[in-house]
Structure 1
Amino acid sequence: MEKPVHTEKLQTFFQTYRKGFLDYDVQAIEKCYQWPCTLNTPDKCVYIENLDDLAREFDEIFLQLKQADTQDIQALKASFTPLSENLLLACVDWQFINSKSQVFTDFSAIYHIMISGEEFKIINVISHDISNSLALSQPFLIEQ
């Protein structure tokens, strides 16, 4: 059976995204987002209008990850479904692990991803309790 056309590109995209978090690399993360965009958690919804907004928000996220002594980020499950020719919906169940090899947070993130030529860009991400995970039509792996 042939792999869906976007599977490998999506795998590479999320590997880069994951590495950006592990390296606390705002520039790597910036390349994954289109702005304006929105970041939604159970606590807040943030409208990102420009690069400065995105950097400010991720500086805060990275500070939390550093304080938790993040050593690894694992994708427990990932799937996607095309919504149109240039829009994908993806769901990734993430697990963040500290230096004591303990899970300090896990959650399900639902991404709306715009496809522009060869580039994938997140336009909206919604984080939920992992119990709200979605199993979309095409599973894929995010290599650790």
Structure 2
Amino acid sequence: MIKVLFVCVHNSARSQMAEAFLNKQGQGDFLAESAGLEPAPLNELVAKAMSEIGYDISGNETNSVFDFYKEGRKYNMIVKVCDTESGQKCPIFPLTLRVLNWNLPDPSEFVGTDEEKLIQIRALRDKIKDLVVSLINEFKDLDTSAETRN
């Protein structure tokens, strides 16, 4: 089982979508969690966009990456879905085999009416889904044989 942590600034949108996609698409091979540098409430428009394709994240809580670090959680892979500058603030988790930087736009910064924002969020959602599918295909055979990593 490959344990993956998705990190973004608020854990309210991008990382939540990525976590949901990986836990469903990579079921059995991957286990995903998500956290933020500065957790904020879940983005309701993101929850709506996810529900449109059958993913209910409306009840998800947001988490702090620093709390996960202090708890001593271990991951085989960290995926930073925020911009590169914000991603540099992420703590370094011991024994992590891979760190990926996806550098995706933050939905909290989208402008326009709710419908205009939803159009942008849907495009981002679909991009994240494609990235997750690529991650699964590329890393499903990642050697995690050292059980201390889990």
More strand by share: 1
More helix by share: 2
Normalised to the residue count of structure 2, the TM-score between the two structures is 0.29
Normalised to the residue count of structure 1, the TM-score between the two structures is 0.30
